[in-house]
Amino acid sequence: MSKNKKPKNESRRKILHTGTTAAGVLAVAQTEWAKPVLNSVILPAHAQTSAQTIAELATATGDLSTLASVLTPGQVDALSGAGPLTVFAPTNGAFAAIQSTVDGLSAAEVEAVVNYHVLSGNQPFSALPETTGTAPNQVGDAITASNGTIYIIDQVLLPPA
């Protein structure tokens, strides 16, 4: 058998190196007849990154449409600013679960509820503001926006009275 040919049952490709980088998992493969090539870069699910601002992502994310609809112009400006900010963003279902409570709030009280979901700086999920009752769960992975971090949660946080 010639030295350029391999038996049919052998792989024509082998992984030369697999490593972790800031961008994710890097795999370099070598084909039988070629120099090493970049095979793939796999971003971990928890590293979702966007060039959009927090306000833009809230507007573009279907399950955050209720949150986006109650933002005041000042809040939109703040969530579009330089940041960094951390937002614990309740899903539409979270708002629906307390609809009767939300309906009874004044515009200023709704604004205060939304503000309670925003922290200055890039914070971990454990920095979640205190709430009464059961703690909310994170839905999916954190999203890194151009101006901060979004954690989608399954409850609306109500500030202490």
Place of tokens 């963003």: 89
Give the model's pLDDT for residue 158. 87
State the burial class of residue 20 (Cβ atoms within 10 Å of its Cβ: 0-12, 13-18, 19+): exposed
Splitting the chain (161 residues) into consecutive groups of 10 residues, what average pLDDT does each group show? 49 40 40 44 49 87 87 88 90 91 87 90 90 85 89 90 72
Domain layout of the chain by residue ranges: 13-43, 47-153
pLDDT at 50: 67
Fold that domain 47-153 belongs to in CATH = FAS1 domain (2.30.180)
Both structure tokens of 11: 């792989």
Residue with tokens 């040919």: 5
Instruction: Please enumerate in sequence order all residues whose Cβ is within 8 A of that of 93, keeping only pairs 6 or more positions apart, or say none.
Output: 63, 154
Q: Indicate the pTM of the whole model.
A: 0.68
